[in-house]
Amino acid sequence: MELKRIVKFEVERDPAFARWITQNPGGERIRHCLQCGLCSASCPLSLWMDYTPRRLMHLSREGFKEEVLSSYTIWLCTSCYACAVECPKGIKVTDLMYALKARAIQEHFYPKRFAIPELAREFSRMILGWGRITESRLVMRVFFKTALGRMIGLSHLGLRLLRTGRLRWAREKVSRQIEIIGLLQDVAATRKELAR
């Protein structure tokens, strides 16, 4: 048997991370979490999670950044808002999941070629480039990067989508793309300033 000795010292906590989560929109009430587990029980995806949403909330507010950002939980969340609506303390768990996802993507806390962050990155690239998503092209790019084999396996579906006119190659785009670029760049700039 592979033994592991686990004890968590206070210095291992990341208080900045804990503070960050409470300051996130939706996290104002996280200190009120009673650990009742209603979020986990309402969540349709919790059955697959390594840390249930409830556990993740507690780990987050205590500042155990590494455990939180490397969990499967944040990637499994589909933002169905069931937890946020049911939470008896009004904690917007979904919003916190979004924040954790974004942070994990920023800090590259995920295995190589993991589809979900790759999807997020490709999505954002397409927006920056064209302002709208052309589904067919997006799916191709993500599959190419992460699961080429599976894509080939689903090719018959792809063909059928083509036949029924649901897969369009024509590029969807915004004519005043410069506005989109300007918008996104300004947001990044203002945020940098505020961080200072």
Partner 1 sequence: MKYTYYPGCSLKGTGRAYEESLLAVFHALGVALEELDDWNCCGATTYMSYDEVQSYALAARNLSLAKKTGRDLMAPCAACYLGLHKTQNYVRDYPWIGHIVEHALTVIGYSTDLSVRIRHPLDILLNDVGLAAIKAKVVHPLNGLKVATYYGCQLVRPYALFDNQREPTSMDRLLAACGATIVDYPLKTQCCAGSQKGTLPEVGLDRIQRLLAGALRVGAETIATVCPLCQFNLEVFQEQAGNAHPFNLPVLYFTQLLAVAFGTPLKQAGLQRSFVSIEPVLAHREIAYV
Partner 2 sequence: MSDTRTPNSALKIGVYVCHCGSNIAGTVDVHAITEYAAGLPDVAVAREYKYMCSDPGQELIRQDINHHGLNRIVVASCSPLMHEPTFRGALLKAGINPYLLQMVNIREHVSWVHTNKQEATAKAKDLVRAAVRRVCLHKPLEKRRVAINPNVLVVGGGIAGIHAALTIANSGKHVYLVERQPTIGGHMAYFDKTFPTLDCAACILTPKMTAVGAHPNITLWTYAEVAAVEGYVGNYKVKVRHKPRYILEELCIGCQECVEACVYKEGRWADEFNMGLSKRKPIYLPFPQAVPQKVLIDPDACIEFKSHRCKKTCVEVCGERKAIDFNQKRWFDEIEVGSIIVCTGFKTFDARRNVYYGYGRHKNVYTALEVERLINASGPTGGNIVLRDGTQPRTAGIIHCVGSRDHNTNRWCSKVCCMYSLKLAHLIRERTGAEVYNFYIDMRTPGKGYEEFYDRLLDEGVHFVRGRVAEVTDWPAHPSEEGKLIIRAEDTLAGFVRRIPVDMVVLSVGLEPQADAREVRRLLNISCSEEGWFLERHPKLAPVSTFTDGVFIAGACQGPKDIPDCVAQAGAAAAEAMALADAKYVELEPYTAHVLEESCSGCKTCLTVCPYSAISFMQETKTARVNEVVCKGCGTCAATCPSASIQQNGFEDGEIFEEVEGLLAYA
Q: DSSP label at 170?
A: S
Residue 176: which of 122, 131, 123 has the closest Cα? 131
| Residue 41 interacts with partner 1 (CB under 8 A): yes or no | no
Q: How many residues make contact with partner 2 (CB under 8 A)?
A: 17
**34 touches which of partner 2, partner 1, none (CB within 5 to 8 A by kind)?**
partner 2
Dihedral (CA of 45, 86, 39, 111) sign:
positive
What's the min distance (Å) between Cβ of 56 and partner 2? 11
Between the alpha carbon of residue 144 and those of residues 128, 137, 191, the distances in Å are 20, 11, 33
Phi and psi at residue 184, to the nearest 5°: -65, -40
| Residue 140 interacts with partner 1 (CB under 8 A): yes or no | no
> DSSP string of 120-135?
HHHHHHHHHHHSS--H
Among the listed ranges 4-12, 13-21, 51-59, 129-137, the one in contact with partner 1 (CB under 8 A) is: 129-137
**113 touches which of partner 1, partner 2, none (CB within 5 to 8 A by kind)?**
none
Contact 87, 81 (CB under 8 A): no
Q: Which parts of this chain interact with partner 1 (CB under 8 A)?
A: 25, 44-45, 48, 75-76, 78-82, 84-85, 92, 94, 98-99, 101-102, 105, 115-116, 119-121, 123-124, 127, 131-136, 139, 142-143, 150, 157, 160-161, 164-168, 172, 174-176, 179-180, 182-184, 186-188, 190-191, 194
